[in-house]
Structure 1
Amino acid sequence: MSSFEILAVTINLLGICLTARGLWLGWPVGIVAVSLYAILFYQWHLYGDTVLQCIFVILQIYGWIQWFKTRQSDLSNKIHIQKISHSVVIISFLLCVIISIAIGLILSWYTNDSIPYIDAMLTSISIFGSIFTAKKYIECWYIWIFVDILYMVLFFLKGFYLTSILYGLFTIMSFYGLSHWKKYRIN
Protein backbone atom coordinates (compact mmCIF):
# COMPACT_ATOMS: atom_id res chain seq x y z
CA MET A 1 0.00 0.00 0.00
CA SER A 2 1.58 3.23 -1.19
CA SER A 3 0.80 6.85 -0.38
CA PHE A 4 -0.26 7.18 -4.04
CA GLU A 5 -2.85 4.42 -3.57
CA ILE A 6 -4.11 6.14 -0.39
CA LEU A 7 -4.52 9.40 -2.35
CA ALA A 8 -6.36 7.59 -5.17
CA VAL A 9 -8.68 5.88 -2.69
CA THR A 10 -9.46 9.15 -0.90
CA ILE A 11 -10.28 11.05 -4.07
CA ASN A 12 -12.37 8.15 -5.39
CA LEU A 13 -14.41 8.10 -2.18
CA LEU A 14 -15.04 11.82 -2.47
CA GLY A 15 -16.12 11.46 -6.10
CA ILE A 16 -18.57 8.62 -5.49
CA CYS A 17 -20.04 10.44 -2.45
CA LEU A 18 -20.70 13.50 -4.57
CA THR A 19 -22.21 11.43 -7.41
CA ALA A 20 -24.41 9.38 -5.09
CA ARG A 21 -25.76 12.64 -3.65
CA GLY A 22 -26.53 13.82 -7.19
CA LEU A 23 -24.00 16.67 -7.11
CA TRP A 24 -22.30 17.71 -10.34
CA LEU A 25 -18.92 18.10 -8.59
CA GLY A 26 -18.73 14.30 -8.58
CA TRP A 27 -17.78 14.43 -12.26
CA PRO A 28 -14.62 16.62 -12.12
CA VAL A 29 -13.48 14.90 -8.93
CA GLY A 30 -14.10 11.61 -10.72
CA ILE A 31 -11.80 12.68 -13.56
CA VAL A 32 -8.94 13.13 -11.12
CA ALA A 33 -9.80 9.88 -9.33
CA VAL A 34 -9.85 7.68 -12.43
CA SER A 35 -6.66 9.29 -13.71
CA LEU A 36 -4.87 8.28 -10.54
CA TYR A 37 -6.17 4.72 -10.80
CA ALA A 38 -5.09 4.52 -14.46
CA ILE A 39 -1.54 4.94 -13.21
CA LEU A 40 -1.98 2.37 -10.43
CA PHE A 41 -3.61 -0.24 -12.67
CA TYR A 42 -0.82 0.14 -15.20
CA GLN A 43 1.73 -0.44 -12.45
CA TRP A 44 -0.25 -3.52 -11.34
CA HIS A 45 -0.37 -4.94 -14.93
CA LEU A 46 -4.17 -4.69 -15.10
CA TYR A 47 -4.20 -3.31 -18.62
CA GLY A 48 -7.91 -3.67 -19.26
CA ASP A 49 -8.55 -1.63 -16.15
CA THR A 50 -5.90 0.87 -17.21
CA VAL A 51 -7.69 1.41 -20.51
CA LEU A 52 -11.00 1.49 -18.65
CA GLN A 53 -9.80 4.36 -16.49
CA CYS A 54 -8.82 6.29 -19.63
CA ILE A 55 -12.29 5.61 -21.05
CA PHE A 56 -13.72 6.73 -17.71
CA VAL A 57 -12.05 10.13 -18.16
CA ILE A 58 -14.00 10.56 -21.41
CA LEU A 59 -17.20 9.23 -19.82
CA GLN A 60 -16.74 11.51 -16.80
CA ILE A 61 -16.52 14.51 -19.14
CA TYR A 62 -19.60 13.24 -21.03
CA GLY A 63 -21.51 12.75 -17.77
CA TRP A 64 -20.52 16.18 -16.52
CA ILE A 65 -21.80 17.78 -19.74
CA GLN A 66 -25.04 15.75 -19.62
CA TRP A 67 -25.75 16.71 -16.03
CA PHE A 68 -24.89 20.34 -16.71
CA LYS A 69 -27.30 20.46 -19.68
CA THR A 70 -30.11 18.96 -17.62
CA ARG A 71 -29.51 21.34 -14.72
CA GLN A 72 -29.51 24.36 -17.05
CA SER A 73 -32.92 23.44 -18.44
CA ASP A 74 -34.40 22.72 -15.01
CA LEU A 75 -34.17 25.44 -12.38
CA SER A 76 -35.45 23.12 -9.63
CA ASN A 77 -31.89 21.75 -9.38
CA LYS A 78 -33.16 18.16 -9.01
CA ILE A 79 -31.76 15.24 -10.91
CA HIS A 80 -34.24 13.49 -13.18
CA ILE A 81 -33.79 9.75 -12.93
CA GLN A 82 -35.15 7.43 -15.61
CA LYS A 83 -35.94 3.74 -15.91
CA ILE A 84 -34.18 1.92 -18.73
CA SER A 85 -36.19 0.20 -21.47
CA HIS A 86 -36.07 -3.58 -21.95
CA SER A 87 -34.68 -3.21 -25.46
CA VAL A 88 -31.75 -1.10 -24.19
CA VAL A 89 -31.04 -3.75 -21.55
CA ILE A 90 -30.96 -6.56 -24.14
CA ILE A 91 -28.83 -4.62 -26.63
CA SER A 92 -26.46 -3.46 -23.88
CA PHE A 93 -26.07 -7.02 -22.55
CA LEU A 94 -25.25 -8.41 -26.00
CA LEU A 95 -22.79 -5.60 -26.70
CA CYS A 96 -21.21 -6.14 -23.30
CA VAL A 97 -20.63 -9.85 -24.04
CA ILE A 98 -19.14 -9.10 -27.48
CA ILE A 99 -16.91 -6.32 -26.14
CA SER A 100 -15.78 -8.53 -23.22
CA ILE A 101 -14.73 -11.33 -25.56
CA ALA A 102 -12.92 -8.93 -27.92
CA ILE A 103 -11.06 -7.18 -25.10
CA GLY A 104 -10.26 -10.53 -23.47
CA LEU A 105 -8.72 -11.83 -26.69
CA ILE A 106 -6.64 -8.68 -27.13
CA LEU A 107 -5.43 -8.78 -23.53
CA SER A 108 -4.59 -12.49 -23.67
CA TRP A 109 -2.66 -12.15 -26.96
CA TYR A 110 -0.81 -8.89 -26.43
CA THR A 111 -0.27 -8.34 -22.70
CA ASN A 112 0.91 -10.10 -19.58
CA ASP A 113 -2.45 -9.52 -17.89
CA SER A 114 -2.86 -12.45 -15.48
CA ILE A 115 -6.67 -12.51 -15.77
CA PRO A 116 -7.46 -11.15 -19.24
CA TYR A 117 -11.06 -12.35 -19.57
CA ILE A 118 -12.12 -11.33 -16.07
CA ASP A 119 -10.39 -7.99 -16.58
CA ALA A 120 -12.19 -7.63 -19.93
CA MET A 121 -15.60 -8.52 -18.49
CA LEU A 122 -15.29 -6.06 -15.61
CA THR A 123 -14.05 -3.40 -18.01
CA SER A 124 -16.99 -3.90 -20.36
CA ILE A 125 -19.61 -3.93 -17.60
CA SER A 126 -18.09 -0.80 -16.08
CA ILE A 127 -18.27 1.06 -19.39
CA PHE A 128 -22.00 0.37 -19.58
CA GLY A 129 -22.39 1.32 -15.90
CA SER A 130 -20.79 4.68 -16.63
CA ILE A 131 -22.96 5.31 -19.66
CA PHE A 132 -26.08 4.40 -17.68
CA THR A 133 -24.97 6.73 -14.85
CA ALA A 134 -24.47 9.63 -17.28
CA LYS A 135 -27.91 8.94 -18.77
CA LYS A 136 -29.34 8.86 -15.21
CA TYR A 137 -30.78 5.36 -15.50
CA ILE A 138 -31.57 4.14 -12.01
CA GLU A 139 -30.40 0.67 -13.04
CA CYS A 140 -26.82 1.94 -13.15
CA TRP A 141 -26.63 1.34 -9.41
CA TYR A 142 -27.43 -2.37 -9.80
CA ILE A 143 -24.55 -2.61 -12.27
CA TRP A 144 -22.22 -0.81 -9.86
CA ILE A 145 -23.23 -3.04 -6.96
CA PHE A 146 -22.51 -6.15 -9.04
CA VAL A 147 -19.22 -4.98 -10.54
CA ASP A 148 -17.93 -3.43 -7.31
CA ILE A 149 -18.41 -6.71 -5.44
CA LEU A 150 -16.47 -8.54 -8.15
CA TYR A 151 -13.69 -5.94 -8.12
CA MET A 152 -13.54 -6.09 -4.32
CA VAL A 153 -12.87 -9.84 -4.48
CA LEU A 154 -10.41 -9.48 -7.37
CA PHE A 155 -8.30 -6.84 -5.63
CA PHE A 156 -8.35 -8.78 -2.37
CA LEU A 157 -7.11 -11.93 -4.12
CA LYS A 158 -4.38 -9.91 -5.85
CA GLY A 159 -3.26 -8.45 -2.51
CA PHE A 160 -4.37 -4.87 -3.17
CA TYR A 161 -6.19 -4.67 0.14
CA LEU A 162 -6.77 -0.92 0.35
CA THR A 163 -8.27 -0.87 -3.14
CA SER A 164 -10.37 -3.92 -2.18
CA ILE A 165 -11.70 -1.96 0.80
CA LEU A 166 -12.40 0.98 -1.55
CA TYR A 167 -14.54 -1.26 -3.75
CA GLY A 168 -16.32 -2.57 -0.66
CA LEU A 169 -17.12 1.04 0.21
CA PHE A 170 -18.17 1.66 -3.41
CA THR A 171 -20.63 -1.22 -3.00
CA ILE A 172 -22.14 0.34 0.13
CA MET A 173 -22.27 3.74 -1.54
CA SER A 174 -23.94 2.20 -4.59
CA PHE A 175 -26.74 0.96 -2.34
CA TYR A 176 -27.00 4.51 -0.99
CA GLY A 177 -27.01 5.97 -4.52
CA LEU A 178 -29.77 3.58 -5.53
CA SER A 179 -31.85 4.57 -2.52
CA HIS A 180 -31.22 8.28 -3.04
CA TRP A 181 -31.98 8.18 -6.77
CA LYS A 182 -35.25 6.32 -6.22
CA LYS A 183 -36.60 9.53 -4.71
CA TYR A 184 -36.15 11.35 -8.03
CA ARG A 185 -37.15 8.64 -10.50
CA ILE A 186 -39.51 9.53 -13.35
CA ASN A 187 -42.00 6.70 -13.88
Structure 2
Amino acid sequence: MIEWLFDATFTVGDEQVLWREVIGNAFGLASALGGMRRKVWAWPVGIVGNLLLFTVFMGSLFGDADRVTMLGQAGRQVMFIAVSVYGWARWRETRRQDLEVRTDGKVPSSGGAGVHPRWATWPQRAFLVGALVGGTLLLTPLFTALGSYKPVWADAWIFMGSLLATYGMARGWVEFWLIWVAVDVVGVPLLWSAQYYATSLMYVFYGVFTLVGFFVWWRVHRREQEGAVGTTA
Protein backbone atom coordinates (compact mmCIF):
# COMPACT_ATOMS: atom_id res chain seq x y z
CA MET A 1 0.00 0.00 0.00
CA ILE A 2 2.80 2.41 0.91
CA GLU A 3 4.73 1.55 -2.26
CA TRP A 4 1.62 2.17 -4.36
CA LEU A 5 1.06 5.54 -2.68
CA PHE A 6 4.61 6.63 -3.48
CA ASP A 7 4.72 5.39 -7.07
CA ALA A 8 1.15 5.71 -8.38
CA THR A 9 0.58 8.32 -11.10
CA PHE A 10 -2.03 9.28 -13.65
CA THR A 11 -1.66 11.03 -16.98
CA VAL A 12 -2.70 14.59 -17.73
CA GLY A 13 -1.85 15.40 -21.32
CA ASP A 14 1.79 14.43 -21.71
CA GLU A 15 2.59 14.65 -18.02
CA GLN A 16 2.52 12.11 -15.19
CA VAL A 17 0.96 13.44 -12.01
CA LEU A 18 1.63 11.79 -8.66
CA TRP A 19 -1.42 10.63 -6.75
CA ARG A 20 0.21 11.62 -3.47
CA GLU A 21 0.47 15.17 -4.74
CA VAL A 22 -3.27 15.18 -5.41
CA ILE A 23 -4.12 13.40 -2.14
CA GLY A 24 -1.86 15.73 -0.16
CA ASN A 25 -3.58 18.76 -1.65
CA ALA A 26 -6.98 17.20 -0.95
CA PHE A 27 -6.07 16.98 2.72
CA GLY A 28 -4.90 20.59 2.51
CA LEU A 29 -8.24 21.63 1.05
CA ALA A 30 -10.13 19.76 3.76
CA SER A 31 -7.98 21.53 6.35
CA ALA A 32 -8.76 24.91 4.77
CA LEU A 33 -12.48 24.16 4.84
CA GLY A 34 -12.21 23.17 8.49
CA GLY A 35 -10.27 26.35 9.22
CA MET A 36 -12.94 28.49 7.59
CA ARG A 37 -15.52 26.77 9.80
CA ARG A 38 -13.17 27.19 12.81
CA LYS A 39 -13.03 23.45 13.51
CA VAL A 40 -10.18 22.07 15.61
CA TRP A 41 -9.85 19.00 13.35
CA ALA A 42 -8.55 21.27 10.58
CA TRP A 43 -5.07 21.15 12.14
CA PRO A 44 -4.44 17.35 12.28
CA VAL A 45 -5.99 16.89 8.83
CA GLY A 46 -3.62 19.52 7.49
CA ILE A 47 -0.63 17.77 9.05
CA VAL A 48 -1.40 14.59 7.07
CA GLY A 49 -1.41 16.61 3.87
CA ASN A 50 1.86 18.30 4.83
CA LEU A 51 3.58 14.95 5.30
CA LEU A 52 2.48 13.76 1.85
CA LEU A 53 3.46 16.99 0.11
CA PHE A 54 6.88 16.97 1.78
CA THR A 55 7.64 13.71 -0.03
CA VAL A 56 6.47 15.30 -3.29
CA PHE A 57 8.63 18.42 -3.16
CA MET A 58 11.69 16.53 -1.96
CA GLY A 59 11.41 14.51 -5.17
CA SER A 60 15.01 13.34 -5.51
CA LEU A 61 15.05 12.09 -1.91
CA PHE A 62 11.98 9.95 -2.52
CA GLY A 63 12.94 8.48 -5.86
CA ASP A 64 11.52 11.07 -8.27
CA ALA A 65 14.73 11.81 -10.16
CA ASP A 66 12.90 13.62 -12.97
CA ARG A 67 11.33 16.15 -10.63
CA VAL A 68 13.00 19.35 -9.47
CA THR A 69 13.52 19.66 -5.73
CA MET A 70 11.82 22.74 -4.26
CA LEU A 71 13.42 23.35 -0.90
CA GLY A 72 11.14 26.23 0.01
CA GLN A 73 8.04 24.18 -0.71
CA ALA A 74 9.42 21.15 1.13
CA GLY A 75 10.62 23.25 4.04
CA ARG A 76 7.27 24.92 4.43
CA GLN A 77 5.62 21.53 4.93
CA VAL A 78 7.90 21.00 7.93
CA MET A 79 7.08 24.52 9.10
CA PHE A 80 3.36 23.82 8.65
CA ILE A 81 3.59 20.80 10.92
CA ALA A 82 5.39 22.74 13.65
CA VAL A 83 3.01 25.71 13.57
CA SER A 84 -0.01 23.42 13.22
CA VAL A 85 0.87 21.76 16.51
CA TYR A 86 0.81 25.23 18.10
CA GLY A 87 -2.48 26.13 16.40
CA TRP A 88 -4.02 22.78 17.30
CA ALA A 89 -3.21 23.26 20.99
CA ARG A 90 -4.41 26.88 20.96
CA TRP A 91 -7.74 26.08 19.28
CA ARG A 92 -8.33 23.05 21.51
CA GLU A 93 -7.93 25.25 24.58
CA THR A 94 -10.31 27.88 23.20
CA ARG A 95 -12.88 25.22 22.39
CA ARG A 96 -12.52 23.66 25.84
CA GLN A 97 -13.10 26.99 27.53
CA ASP A 98 -16.11 27.79 25.36
CA LEU A 99 -17.77 24.45 26.05
CA GLU A 100 -17.38 24.68 29.80
CA VAL A 101 -20.75 25.04 31.46
CA ARG A 102 -21.02 28.58 32.71
CA THR A 103 -22.53 29.64 36.01
CA ASP A 104 -25.83 30.33 34.25
CA GLY A 105 -25.82 26.76 32.89
CA LYS A 106 -25.75 27.83 29.23
CA VAL A 107 -23.35 26.79 26.50
CA PRO A 108 -21.90 29.66 24.39
CA SER A 109 -23.64 30.28 21.07
CA SER A 110 -20.32 29.74 19.29
CA GLY A 111 -20.92 26.01 19.67
CA GLY A 112 -17.38 25.46 20.81
CA ALA A 113 -15.56 26.85 17.77
CA GLY A 114 -11.79 26.65 17.93
CA VAL A 115 -11.19 30.37 17.51
CA HIS A 116 -12.95 33.73 17.67
CA PRO A 117 -11.84 35.82 14.65
CA ARG A 118 -10.57 39.33 15.30
CA TRP A 119 -8.67 42.00 13.43
CA ALA A 120 -4.95 42.29 14.02
CA THR A 121 -3.74 45.54 15.57
CA TRP A 122 -1.74 47.98 13.44
CA PRO A 123 1.56 46.96 15.08
CA GLN A 124 0.70 43.32 14.35
CA ARG A 125 -0.08 44.18 10.73
CA ALA A 126 3.23 46.02 10.45
CA PHE A 127 4.95 42.93 11.83
CA LEU A 128 3.26 40.70 9.22
CA VAL A 129 4.24 42.93 6.29
CA GLY A 130 7.78 43.49 7.57
CA ALA A 131 8.32 39.80 8.27
CA LEU A 132 7.02 38.81 4.83
CA VAL A 133 9.31 41.19 2.94
CA GLY A 134 12.30 40.90 5.26
CA GLY A 135 12.05 37.13 5.54
CA THR A 136 11.90 36.77 1.77
CA LEU A 137 15.05 38.89 1.38
CA LEU A 138 16.89 36.87 4.02
CA LEU A 139 15.85 33.43 2.79
CA THR A 140 16.47 34.04 -0.93
CA PRO A 141 20.29 33.76 -0.74
CA LEU A 142 19.98 30.76 1.59
CA PHE A 143 17.61 28.92 -0.76
CA THR A 144 19.87 29.91 -3.68
CA ALA A 145 22.91 28.37 -1.99
CA LEU A 146 20.92 25.21 -1.30
CA GLY A 147 19.97 24.91 -4.96
CA SER A 148 16.26 25.70 -4.83
CA TYR A 149 14.21 26.15 -8.00
CA LYS A 150 14.35 29.56 -9.70
CA PRO A 151 13.18 32.25 -9.32
CA VAL A 152 14.32 31.58 -5.78
CA TRP A 153 12.76 34.73 -4.32
CA ALA A 154 9.33 33.34 -5.23
CA ASP A 155 10.03 30.13 -3.32
CA ALA A 156 11.17 32.21 -0.33
CA TRP A 157 8.08 34.44 -0.59
CA ILE A 158 5.78 31.41 -0.52
CA PHE A 159 7.63 29.97 2.47
CA MET A 160 7.43 33.17 4.53
CA GLY A 161 3.84 33.90 3.51
CA SER A 162 2.78 30.39 4.46
CA LEU A 163 4.50 30.68 7.83
CA LEU A 164 2.85 33.99 8.64
CA ALA A 165 -0.58 32.94 7.36
CA THR A 166 -0.55 29.76 9.43
CA TYR A 167 0.54 31.69 12.52
CA GLY A 168 -2.15 34.28 11.85
CA MET A 169 -4.76 31.53 11.59
CA ALA A 170 -3.64 30.10 14.93
CA ARG A 171 -3.97 33.57 16.50
CA GLY A 172 -7.37 34.15 14.92
CA TRP A 173 -6.43 37.22 12.84
CA VAL A 174 -8.89 37.84 9.99
CA GLU A 175 -6.05 39.21 7.83
CA PHE A 176 -4.36 35.81 7.57
CA TRP A 177 -6.62 34.99 4.61
CA LEU A 178 -5.18 37.94 2.66
CA ILE A 179 -1.66 36.66 3.22
CA TRP A 180 -2.72 33.40 1.56
CA VAL A 181 -3.91 35.42 -1.44
CA ALA A 182 -0.43 36.97 -1.72
CA VAL A 183 1.07 33.47 -1.54
CA ASP A 184 -1.25 32.10 -4.23
CA VAL A 185 -0.52 34.94 -6.67
CA VAL A 186 3.18 34.00 -6.66
CA GLY A 187 2.69 30.26 -6.18
CA VAL A 188 0.57 29.50 -9.25
CA PRO A 189 3.11 30.51 -11.94
CA LEU A 190 6.07 29.18 -9.95
CA LEU A 191 4.62 25.70 -9.43
CA TRP A 192 3.30 25.48 -12.99
CA SER A 193 6.75 26.27 -14.41
CA ALA A 194 8.21 23.56 -12.15
CA GLN A 195 5.64 21.07 -13.54
CA TYR A 196 3.81 20.61 -10.24
CA TYR A 197 0.55 20.92 -12.11
CA ALA A 198 -1.81 19.50 -9.49
CA THR A 199 -0.52 21.83 -6.79
CA SER A 200 -0.52 24.81 -9.15
CA LEU A 201 -4.18 24.25 -10.05
CA MET A 202 -5.02 23.83 -6.38
CA TYR A 203 -3.40 27.22 -5.74
CA VAL A 204 -5.81 28.77 -8.26
CA PHE A 205 -8.72 27.32 -6.33
CA TYR A 206 -7.16 28.33 -3.01
CA GLY A 207 -6.92 31.92 -4.25
CA VAL A 208 -10.69 32.09 -4.68
CA PHE A 209 -11.33 30.09 -1.53
CA THR A 210 -9.17 32.34 0.65
CA LEU A 211 -11.13 35.40 -0.45
CA VAL A 212 -14.34 33.63 0.57
CA GLY A 213 -12.75 32.65 3.89
CA PHE A 214 -11.75 36.25 4.53
CA PHE A 215 -15.34 37.48 4.24
CA VAL A 216 -16.67 34.52 6.27
CA TRP A 217 -14.34 35.31 9.19
CA TRP A 218 -15.05 39.01 8.85
CA ARG A 219 -18.78 38.30 9.13
CA VAL A 220 -18.27 35.98 12.13
CA HIS A 221 -16.19 38.62 13.89
CA ARG A 222 -18.85 41.28 13.31
CA ARG A 223 -21.61 38.94 14.51
CA GLU A 224 -19.71 38.08 17.69
CA GLN A 225 -18.99 41.76 18.34
CA GLU A 226 -22.66 42.62 17.92
CA GLY A 227 -23.58 39.77 20.24
CA ALA A 228 -21.15 41.01 22.87
CA VAL A 229 -22.59 44.52 22.68
CA GLY A 230 -26.12 43.15 23.00
CA THR A 231 -25.15 41.10 26.06
CA THR A 232 -23.57 44.05 27.86
CA ALA A 233 -26.51 46.26 27.00
**Shorter-chain TM band:** over 0.9
Partner of 1:147: 183
Q: Which residue of 2 aligns with 1:31?
A: 47
Give a deviation string over 1:88-130, Cα, whole Å, max 9, x none. Answer: 1112322222221221111112324332211111111111111
Other-structure match for 2:97: 73
For normalisation by structure 1, the TM-score amounts to: 0.92
The 3-state SS of whatever aligns with 1:82 is: coil
Quote the residue 2:65 is aligned against.
none
Return the alpha-carbon distance in structure 1 between the equivalents of residues 148 and 171 of structure 2. Answer: 35
**Contact kept? 2:58, 2:69, Cα under 8 Å:** yes
Report the counterpart of residue 101 of structure 1 in structure 2.
137
Deviations 1:116-156 (A, max 9, x none): 21111111111111111110100011111221232122222
Contact 1:48/1:103, CA 8 A, preserved across alignment: no
Structure with more of its chain in helix, by fraction: 1
Taking structure 2 as the reference length, the TM-score comes to: 0.75
Aligned with 1:182 (options 200, 218, 221): 218
How far has the Cα of 1:35 moved from its partner? 1.4
Kindly indicate whether the alpha-carbon contact (under 8 Å) linking 2:35 and 2:42 is maintained by their aligned counterparts in 1: yes
Higher gyration radius (CA): 2
- The answer as to whether partners of 2:154 and 2:186 remain within 8 angstroms in 1 is no
Aligned match of 2:120: 84
Q: Aligned runs of 1:131-142 on 2, under 5 Å?
A: 131-142=167-178
Alignment of 1:116-135 (within 5 A): 116-135=152-171
Query: Alignment identity in percent?
Result: 22
Contact 1:41 1:50 in 2 (8 A): yes
- Would the aligned equivalents of 1:20 and 1:173 in 2 still touch at CA under 8 Å? no
The CA RMSD measured in Å over matched residues stands at 1.6
Q: Which amino acid aligns with 1:55?
A: M
Structure 2: runs of 5 or more not aligned: 1-16, 60-67, 100-107, 226-233
Q: Which has the higher contact order (CA 8 A, sep 6+)?
A: 1
Unaligned runs of 5+ in 1: none
State how far apart, in whole Å, the 1-side matches of 2:144 and 2:195 are: 22
Name the CA distance, whole Å, in 2 between partners of 1:51 and 1:112. Answer: 11
What is the CA-CA distance between 1:30 and the residue it aligns to? 0.4
Counterpart in the other structure of 1:167 = 203
Q: Number of aligned pairs?
A: 187
Please say which of residues 57-66 and 153-162 is displaced more in the overlay: 153-162
Q: Specify whether residues 172 and 65 from structure 1 end up closer, same or farther in structure 2 by C-alpha distance, changes over 3 A only.
A: same
1:15-54 to structure 2, matched below 5 A, reads 15-43=31-59, 44-54=68-78
Residues 26-47 of structure 1 show CA distances to partners (whole Å, capped at 9, x for unaligned) of: 1000001111111111113110
